[in-house]
Structures are given as C-alpha cells and as structure tokens.
Amino acid sequence: MTGRVRRWALAAGLAGTAALMVAAGTGLPRFGGDQHPYGARAVAASLRQQTANTISSVNFDQRALDTLGEESILFGSVLGTVVLLRQTRDEHRVRPRPERVPAALRRYGAGLLPVTLLIGLYIVAHGQLSPGGGFQGGVVIATALHLLYVGADYRALERIRPLGLFELVDGSGEAAYVLLGGAGLLAGSAYLANVLPHGTFNTMASGGTVPLLNAAVGLEVASAVVVLLAHFLDQAIEITDNRKAHR
Amino acid sequence: MTGPLAALPYATAAWLFLAGVYGMATSRNLVHAVGCLSVTQSSTYVLLLAVGYRRGATAPVFSDVPTSVPVVDPVVQALALTDIVVGATVTALLLALVVQVDKGHGTVDPDELSELKG
Amino acid sequence: MADTALVTLTLLFVAAAAGAAVLTRDPARQAVVLSLLGLGLALLFTVLQAPDVGLSQLGVGAAVTPLMILLTVRKVRRRRKRDG
C-alpha cells in the first residue's frame, strides 16, 4: 500500500467509526442522570455485606471471579515481560558507576520513602472502608521503593530489591487469591463466595473476605510493578550486547 | 449539564479513541505507537465513568456519609479501576516486545520493518 | 454549577492533552505529555466522584507507564548509538 492509499483508508475508517459512535451515543443514558439500576443493586448488596467502600465490594465480592480473571491477565503479562526481557547469552552486564546524589535529594528520598510505603500499606489495608485497595496501594508501595533510585542510586535499589523474592511474592499473591476462593467451596458455598462473618459496618474487620482478597491483590500488584520496572531498568542501564565488549 | 454540553463527556471519550487510533496508524516509531494505544485505552475509562455519573451524588463510599445519600454508580468504577492497573502491565508486555523487535531487526520503525519482511 | 464547570474544564484539558500526546512524535517527549494526560485523567475521575479510579490512574498513568516508555526509549537509543 502506498502512503496515499493508506491515508485515505485511515481517513475513511476513522470517519466511519466516528459516525457509528455518534449513532451509538444517541442511545446512551443522559450524562448525570438518576437512573442507575446496576449501581443501585450493587450498593444495596454492598451494604448487606457490611462493606463501606462499595467499589471494593463489587470488585472483591460481587464479581470476585472477574477480578481473578483480571489478576491472571496481570500475572500473565508480567510473566511474558520477564521472559522477553531476560538477559540472553549474547548479552552481558555493565555495572553502572555509583553516582553522586545531591545531599538535599538524598534527604528528600530518605524522608519520603517510609512515609510513602506507609501510605501504600494504609491504602491496601483500608480498601473495604475508604477509597483504595490492593490495586491502588500496590502501585504506591512499588513506586515508593523506587524513591531509592532517585534519592540514592541504582545499586542501593538493587540491594533492597531481591528480585527472586519479589517474583515469588507475585506468584504467591495470585495463589492466595485462588486459594481464598476455594475457602468458599470448603464452607459449602460457591467459589469465591464471601463466607467469612461480615463484621461490623465501617470497622477494619468488615466485609468478610474483601480485606483478605485486597491484601492478596496488593501483594501481587506491588511485586508485579517492582519486577516489571526492575527488568526495564536492567535493560536500559545494565544489559549490553556483547559486540560492544569486543570493540 | 444540559444542552450541547451534555454530550461533552461522550464526545471526549470518542475523541480519545479516534486520536489514539490515528496516532497508532500514522506512527513511525513502535514506542510512540504503544503510547498512542494507552490514549485509546483511556477512552474506555472516560466512557464508563461518564455513564455512571449522577449529578449531585457523592462517591460510592459510605465510611463518612449516611447510607441514604445518593451515590454515583460503583459498578462502572470497579470495571475501570482494575483495568487501569492491568492495562499498565499489558503496556509493559508490548514495550518488552518492542525491545525484542529492536534487538532482532535493529529498527523500531513499522515501515522499515515491513520492508525487511519483503 | 461549580461541578459542571469543573467537569467541563477537566474534560477539555484531557482532550487537549490526548491530542498533544498523539502528535508528539518523539517518544521521550511523548512520555512527558502522557504523564500530563495521566494527571488530567486522575483529576477528571476525582471530579466525577470516582476517587478509587483516580488513585489508580494517578500511580499508573502519571508515573509507571511514562517511566516504562522512557526506559524503553533509553534502551533503544543505547543500541542505536553503538550501531551508528
């Protein structure tokens, strides 16, 4: 296809899609309207299960099986990325030289790291109560560790980041979710059913299995992001083709 | 929101989708194409949240409001929330593929790549 | 009415940032624009009463995805510099 033909095909495709979107848009509910049949039912179910954060209830109770599917996509993509970015035989590592970091930046990183880590843990632990949960908190925890890269250097990050352990935790998070689902079967109910006592509304011990599944997802997401960034950092900073060494 | 502004959230979602697709189709760099894909991806989040929005309602979290308060639709939020994090790992997989393509062919320009294939 | 104004403003910002992100052809510059877009989306989600989604978008869209793009750019550039 020549460039000109391709541009025309693209223009026609985009115009056609836009027309279909406008046609479909007329059938959408009015923005800001009061009718939310699914939402109303989800909120009622969430309150029945004593979960103050209805979004956590939807994700980890009412459609926990879907979240298992999402988690498995996450696990699969991390696995694929690790396989694609591993060090191959025709590559070697060049250790980066230690960098001098300005003292102010170092203090900033050292001060912020524990605070950010704590916020991440808080967000995971309060998923059933306030906005947050395993997905969001996991990302915060993982980015917190990378403050070491900003505040110190790559070697410091590598020291506190035993990659094998994080890969293990990633798998354990996924396994914990699968096994927690099995608890529902053991209790004589459905897979991933919320069989634990629902507890008192708006306290830490509420929502039944929701906080446990949240913790499993938090583990998996935090270590998944750490493992992903580690492999990208390795590729960008350390791993080099062997041809360079022969020059 | 009434009148012409009422369609703005949906129009924005459509715009994000079309802009991202345009960027991918005209991209000369696979890394840039992956970035455009993440723009397209975000159109689904805007669409979902726009469908679930309810004027004058608060967030569907009852830790600090009575349970009788009207809230926006939590179902669409749950859908968007998980996909944002999962989508990032899929982006990582695509970027890893780009690194592999670069190793194998020495270029990340889609046009040059299709020339290589013949 | 303040709600409407905020939603309209953030929607327009997101639309503009998305356009800029697509038209920025250099991936390293694009990563910065994508980070802005991620920030705008997080703001939009918060204004639309979705703090959970906003929180998730803030970490992923404004930090993790742009960082991975930048690292990929650096990897590809390092290989180029040697070949060229």
Long-range contacts of A197-203 (CB under 8 A, 24+ apart): A198/A49, A198/A50, A198/A51, A199/A50, A200/A50, A201/A47, A201/A50, A201/A52, A202/A52, A202/A129, A202/B62, A202/B63, A203/A129
**What is the model's pLDDT at position A177?**
94
Range of the domain at C74: 2-83
Range of the domain at B17: 3-117
The residues pairing with A53 across neighbouring beta strands, listed in sequence order, are B61
Q: Are the Cβ atoms of B77 and C53 closer than 8 angstroms? A: yes
DSSP assignment letter at B54: B
**Residue closest to A139 by CA, chosen among C20, B36, B105, B82:** B82
pLDDT higher at C3 or A171 = A171
Question: Strand, coil or helix: what is A92?
Answer: strand
User: DSSP H helical segments within chain A, as ranges?
Assistant: 3-25, 37-48, 54-57, 64-84, 103-125, 134-145, 147-151, 154-159, 163-186, 210-233, 243-246
Q: Would you call C74 an interface residue with chain B, using a CB distance cutoff of 8 Å?
A: no
Whether the pLDDT of residue A22 is over 50: the answer is yes
Place of tokens 């697709």: B21
**Residue closest to C65 by CA, chosen among C46, C82, C42:** C42
Number of B:C CB contacts under 8 A? 135
Whether the pLDDT of residue C27 is over 60: the answer is yes
Cα dihedral across residues B57, B61, B65, B70: positive or negative: positive
Tens digit of each residue's pLDDT (9 = 90 or more) over B54-92: 998 999 999 888 988 999 999 999 999 999 999 999 999
Lowest mean pLDDT among A15-29, A122-136, A192-206, B97-111: A192-206
What total number of domains does chain B contain? 1
Residues 6+ apart with CB under 8 A from A26: none
**What is the model's pLDDT at position C3?**
84
Q: Are the Cβ atoms of A132 and C52 closer than 8 angstroms? A: yes
Q: How would you class A178 by CB atoms within 10 Å of its CB: exposed for 0-12, middle for 13-18, buried for 19 or more?
A: middle
Whether the pLDDT of residue A198 is over 80: the answer is yes
ipTM of the complex: 0.91
Contact between residue A84 and residue A228 where contact means Cβ atoms under 8 Å apart: no
Of the candidates A17, A31, A228, the beta carbon closest to that of B50 is on A31
Of the candidates A131, A140, A232, the beta carbon closest to that of C68 is on A232
Residue B18, min C-alpha distance to chain C (Å): 10
Question: Strand, coil or helix: what is A93?
Answer: strand
pLDDT higher at A209 or C82 = A209
**What is the model's pLDDT at position A243?**
60
**What is the model's pLDDT at position B10?**
95
**What is the model's pLDDT at position A200?**
87
CA atoms of A23 and A207, how far apart (whole Å)? 42
**What is the model's pLDDT at position B2?**
59
Q: How would you class A67 by CB atoms within 10 Å of its CB: exposed for 0-12, middle for 13-18, buried for 19 or more?
A: buried
The residues pairing with C61 across neighbouring beta strands, listed in sequence order, are none
Q: What is the mean pLDDT of residues A139-152?
A: 87
Residue B36, min C-alpha distance to chain A (Å): 15
**What is the model's pLDDT at position A115?**
94
Q: What is the CATH number of the domain that holds B61?
A: 1.10.287.3510
What total number of domains does chain C contain? 1
- Which of C14, C22, C52 to mutate: most B Cβ within 10 Å? C22
H or E segment at A239? strand A239-241
The residues pairing with B58 across neighbouring beta strands, listed in sequence order, are B71
Residues 6+ apart with CB under 8 A from B54: A32, A33, A34, A36, A39, B70, B71, B72, B73, C49
**What is the model's pLDDT at position A247?**
39
pLDDT higher at A100 or C25 = C25
**What is the model's pLDDT at position A158?**
82
Of the candidates A30, A54, A224, the beta carbon closest to that of B89 is on A224
Q: Would you call A235 an interface residue with chain B, using a CB distance cutoff of 8 Å?
A: yes
Query: CA–CA distance from B1 to each of A25, A27, B9, B20 (Å)?
Result: 16, 17, 10, 27
Which residues 2-61 on chain B approach chain A with CB closer than 8 angstroms? 6-11, 14, 17-18, 21-22, 25-26, 50-55, 59-61
Q: Which chains touch B (3 or more CB pairs under 8 A)?
A: A, C
Whether the pLDDT of residue C83 is over 70: the answer is no
Q: Would you call B69 an interface residue with chain A, using a CB distance cutoff of 8 Å?
A: no
Tens digit of each residue's pLDDT (9 = 90 or more) over A154-178: 877 888 788 889 999 999 999 999 9
Residues 6+ apart with CB under 8 A from B84: A135, B45, C53, C56, C57, C60, C61
The phi, psi pair for A147, rounded to 5°, reads -60, -25
Whether the pLDDT of residue C53 is over 50: the answer is yes
Q: Are the Cβ atoms of B84 and C56 closer than 8 angstroms? A: yes
Locate B42 and state its tokens: 């975000």
Residues of A in contact with B76 (CB under 8 A): 39
Whether the pLDDT of residue A79 is over 80: the answer is yes
**What is the model's pLDDT at position B12?**
96
Whether the pLDDT of residue A1 is over 90: the answer is no
Lowest mean pLDDT among A104-113, B97-106, C6-15, C66-75: A104-113
**What is the model's pLDDT at position A227?**
94
**What is the model's pLDDT at position C79?**
80
Chain A: residues touching C (Cβ < 8 Å): 53, 55-56, 123, 131-133, 135-136, 139-140, 142-143, 225, 228-229, 232-233, 235-237, 240-241, 243-244
Residues 6+ apart with CB under 8 A from C65: B38, B88, B91, C34, C38
